[in-house]
Structure formats: structure tokens, C-alpha cells
Amino acid sequence: MTKTPPGELELRRAAARAMGGDEAVAKWHAKGRLTARERIAAFVDADSFQEFGMLAGKGNYADDGTLKNFTPSNCVMGRGETNQRPLMVVADDFTLRGGSSESSVAEKWIYAERMAHEFRMPLVRFVDSVGGSVKILEQSGRTKIPGYTLWPSTAMMGTIPVASIAFGSCVGLGAVRVIGAHFSVMVKNQAQVFAAGPPVVKQGLGHEVSKEDLGGVELCTQVSGVVNNAAEDEKDALRQAQRFLSYLPASVWELPPRVVSTDDPKRCDAKLNHAIPEDRRKPFAARGIAESICDMNSLFEIAPKFGASLRTYLARLDGYAVGLMINDPMVMGGALTHAAAQKMERFVDLCDTFHLPIVNLVDQPGVMIGLDAERAGTLLAAARAGAAIEQTSVPWVSVIMRRAFGVAGSMQGPWNGPSGTSLNHRFAWPTARWGSIPIEGGVAAAYKREIEEASDPNERRMELEQYYQRLASPYRTAEAFGVVDIIEPAETRMLLCRWVKDAVRLLPSQLGQKRRTLR
């Protein structure tokens, strides 16, 4: 048996800690960036990081077999804790060959993900990788069919929370590691996420396009929605990922943690009674309503710039974690656009998967209409979002604040649910109006002839509209128990804090993986 020469372990560990070497690290710092190890240190609690695979890399040996030098893998990974909660963290090191998979030792990052999956703890990816390199061919002497065995990339989306941060240009597999997550965030003016970068686009399509235009923050978080959130800088991105995880359980086999809330669950905010303008054509500030109802400072918004006619928040009610949706009439009139429908589907799946009861604050004018919307396939996206709602078993409550019209208006909560019998537990504010179609357009269509033939068509139309508006009073629906209750808006927090107390009692019996059918 050969004996390990004294000091070799420390030598190899020091080489791993040095990453790309002093010069590469200094250059990296000069760009204002943190190294992979610094990012991990900033993310996990002090003294909680246990690195794995520190010795993976490439040794260079003399003819007699002694180690000349050692180049570590450009993947740093291990277990750590944030706020005393264990998780796996896996970070690309750009100071070594641009984070390229060329020197990453693929088994290592896959092991990190498998371990998170197997040990049922959250996974956080710090992605900063230019992707593959043609030089791999020279190293291995052969090409390989793309793909990775034993990478549970899809399975773990149903078992453990996955959060990804894009720190730099993330291409191909790097991009997939960013977007294949429950929450993704990218650093402004520093990260891009795309299938292929400008040189490949130039070669394939002949188009010249800048990196930022092709996959910068604006495109990814506002236009395509492939990444959820934008971060001002690296520290902000790390904080956002920590914040996201704070609402979720370690896995689907556990309950989301409750925090101690200092906000009175019976707090009534009189301002809410005037939050909805009397003139139904006037929009309102959606976030202000959500803030007033939830525990103070508990809102964490996902995808604020994408499909923003629907706002999606992780939030707390009396310390319990919930998912909260609210329509924002300032954006596209609050309509369910293609983007908003995609966002709704993903958010509902997220909440159902991780046992977050859902609160839906509704002011829904309907599925977006018009040529652009039809061409985009908005109806299919809306139907998928509706199916996602039906497939939830997590408790729901909806409060109709104002409009609930048409197909999208029917999507306040599950009508049947997976059990086929779920309660559609819904309340309304006195300002609510609902129906298959809005009265304004509906009267014009149904009474076309009568209005045209009237001596004053405009006056006749308004008369008819007023008549139907009176019929559309929500109190008439309440008489028929078509809504559980109409409440004073100021009482909403109290109602929801009581509801959540009952709702969370169901969660222990729902632990484990959720099954969903085709949608």
C-alpha cells in the first residue's frame, strides 16, 4: 500500500481554493465580480459549508509519478445552511476556463444535484458558464451524444425547491440550468441567458445582435419570461434566492416553515374600503392592496415585469407562507394575456407542489382579446392555467374585488379539484361585478335593434345598462349563495388569517409528490 506523502492533501486543497490562480482572480475582482467561493460564503451561514469533491480536477504528474501541479474542477459544490436550513449549493467558477464544462468534471455538479434530490433538500445553482467548448473533443478524442445520465433535472422539480442565479453569460446547458428552476434571477448588465450567443446566431441566421439584446435582463424578464427576476447586483441576486427559499419547505415531504409574525391578524385597514375607485374604468394600485392584507413586509414578488397584468407573490398571513395572486389593472387592463396565463400556470404549480395555500384577489376582465392575442395562442395558455388551477389540491380562497368576466373570470379557484368535490371558497367586496360578459358590451349586442330604433339611442342604451347594472348587484348573487359572503374590504386580512389557520391543517395529509394529468 502506498502511503500518502505528508502535506499532499493540504497542497491539493490549497490549489482548489486558489481556483484559476491569483492573476485570474484579480482580473475577476477588477470586473466587480465575486468568485464562486465568495458567492457561496455570502450565501450560506458562517461555518456551515461542507465542500464535496474539492479534490476533483486534473493532476499533472512527473515521469516518476509525483504530482507537479493540480488544476481544480471549475465546479464548487457542497452542503451549507441558510438561516440554519440545510441545502445544496453548486457554483460555476468562471476563473477556470470561463466556467466551461471542459474542465468541470461533469460527474461533480450532477452529484450535487443528485444529492439534493436524494437528501430532499433545496438546491441552489450559481450559474456562470460559457457552456461547452470544442476543445473537449481534443481531450476526449471523441464526440458524445448530448445529455447527462443520472441528472434528475425534471424529477427534482416535483420534489425539492430549486433556485438558480445567472451571474454571467449562460449558454446552452448553462441556460437550462438557470431556467430549469422554481425561481431564477439574473444580475443586470452582467448576465445573459440564451440558447446560443451572438457568434452562433451570426453563423446560423446571418443576424448581428448584441449579447444584451439577445439574452439580457430586458428580454429574459420582461419579454420572454424565461427568467423570473432581475437583480441590481450579485448581492441582491443572492438575497433574492435566500428570500425565495425562506417561504418553501426543504422538500415536498415537509411543510413550509411558519415564522413569528408581529402583525396583528385582526388588523383592519380602512384604506382598503376605498381602494377600488367607484368609476369602474379607473385602475387601482394592486400591490398596495396586497401589502395591506398580508403580514407587514412579507411580499416577495416573482416575475414582476412579465405578464404583469397578473401579480404573483409569495407572502405570509399570520406567519404562514401562502401564494398570492392579484390582477393589476394598470397593465393591459388586468387582462389574462398569454404571458400572464403562462405565469399563472407556473405559479399555481409552484404553490401546489410545495403546499402553499393560494389566495386569489380577483379583478379579471377576461382573456386578452385581439389579433395579436389570438395569434399568440392566448386561449390555449389560458386553458392550461385553468387546468393547473383544477389540478391543485392545496387549499384556495378567492376574493373578487371587482371584475370577474368570461373564461378567465371563471378561473378564481378550482371548481372541482382533483377530488371532484373541492369547495370553491370565494368572497367578494361590494365593488364586485361578474358575469359571462360585461354589461356594457353585452347590452349593445343583445339590444342592437331596440337601441338603433330608439329616438335617442344613446339614452336608451344607458337606461338598459343601468337596469342591468342593478340586476348585477353582487348582493343578488349572495342571496342565492353564489358567493360565500360579501365582506367589507377592510376585514379581508382578518378573514384570510382565520382561513389560513384552517387551511394549513389540511397540509400534513397532502405531503409528498403531487400527481397531475395532461393539460
Partner 1 sequence: MSIERLKSPVTGVVWKATAQAGAMLDEGTTVLLIESMKMEIPVDMPRKGKLLELLVREGEAVCEGQPVAEIE
Residues of this chain that bind partner 1 (CB under 8 A): 280-283, 329-335, 365-366, 368-370, 372, 438, 440
Measured from the CB atom, the residue of 89 and 331 that comes closer to partner 1 is 331
Measured from the CB atom, the residue of 458 and 509 that comes closer to partner 1 is 458
- CB 497 to partner 1: min, Å: 31
Distance CA 160, CA 239 (A): 19
- CB 460 to partner 1: min, Å: 20
Roughly how many angstroms between the first and final C-alpha of the chain, as a whole number? Answer: 60
Distance CA 213, CA 221 (A): 12
User: Residue 463: helix, strand or coil by DSSP?
Assistant: helix
- CB 275 to partner 1: min, Å: 15
Closest CA to 130 of 103, 106, 100: 100
- CB 185 to partner 1: min, Å: 24
Please state the separation of Cα 382 from the chain's center in Å: 18
Integer CA distances (angstroms), 509 to 355, 395, 421, in order: 10, 12, 17
Measured from the CB atom, the residue of 142 and 282 that comes closer to partner 1 is 282
- CB 483 to partner 1: min, Å: 22
- CB 309 to partner 1: min, Å: 9
- CB 189 to partner 1: min, Å: 19
Report the length, in residues, of the chain: 519
Closest CA to 333 of 379, 281, 287, 374: 281
Is residue 136 packed enough to be buried (19+ CB in 10 Å), middle (13-18) or exposed (0-12)? Answer: middle
- CB 140 to partner 1: min, Å: 47
Is residue 515 packed enough to be buried (19+ CB in 10 Å), middle (13-18) or exposed (0-12)? Answer: exposed
Measured from the CB atom, the residue of 172 and 366 that comes closer to partner 1 is 366
Measured from the CB atom, the residue of 164 and 222 that comes closer to partner 1 is 222
Integer CA distances (angstroms), 41 to 48, 170, 187, 237, in order: 9, 22, 18, 14
Q: Residue holding cell 337596469?
A: 467
- CB 405 to partner 1: min, Å: 9
Measured from the CB atom, the residue of 3 and 282 that comes closer to partner 1 is 282
Q: Are 430 and 486 in contact (CB under 8 A)?
A: yes
Measured from the CB atom, the residue of 185 and 331 that comes closer to partner 1 is 331
Measured from the CB atom, the residue of 99 and 406 that comes closer to partner 1 is 406
Pairing mode of beta strands 320-327, 358-364: parallel
DSSP assignment of 140-206: HSS---S--TT--TTGGGGTS-EEEEE-SEEETHHHHHHHSSSEEEEETTT-EEESS-HHHHHHHH-
Measured from the CB atom, the residue of 368 and 490 that comes closer to partner 1 is 368
